[in-house]
């Protein structure tokens, strides 16, 4: 039984997590494309965050590239860390 759990965990780490990373990358790319093509993105962000200025196209590009990359890698590594902790029974999901 323990070998089966080891196999499932290795499949998760080496197969599922890269696929999840790829799916999130595709979703971030599509949303970034929509944000770049929308002429009102800067105004929308200004209104949502109550800023005193409208974001320029370059600021929107930087926000998409750095913000998307940050959240993509943060999600990926936190998912791996939490999975390892659950696997080693350091934290419990279900009592």
Count CB atoms within 10 A of the CB of residue 42: 18
For the chain, 95 residues long, give each residue's pLDDT as a single digit of tens: 677 877 877 787 788 888 888 999 999 999 999 999 999 999 999 999 999 998 899 999 999 999 999 999 999 889 888 888 877 777 666 65
Q: Give residue 16's Cα distance to chain centre.
A: 15
pTM of the model: 0.74
At 74 the pLDDT is 94
Residue 91: both structure tokens together:
């934290």
At 81 the pLDDT is 87
Give the gyration radius of the chain's Cα atoms. 19
At 31 the pLDDT is 94
Residue 26: both structure tokens together:
């595709």
**Residues in contact with 21: Cβ distance below 8 Å, sequence separation at least 6, in sequence order:** 72, 76
């Amino acid at each position: 039984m323990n070998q089966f759990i080891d196999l499932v965990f290795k499949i998760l780490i080496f197969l599922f997590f890269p696929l999840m990373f790829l799916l999130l990358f595709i979703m971030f790319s599509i949303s970034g494309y929509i944000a770049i093509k929308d002429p009102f993105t800067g105004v929308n962000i200004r209104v949502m965050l109550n800023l005193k200025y409208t974001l320029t196209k370059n600021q929107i590009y930087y926000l998409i590239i750095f913000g998307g990359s940050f959240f993509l890698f943060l999600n990926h590594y936190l998912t791996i860390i939490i999975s390892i902790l659950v696997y080693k029974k350091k934290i419990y999901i279900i009592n």
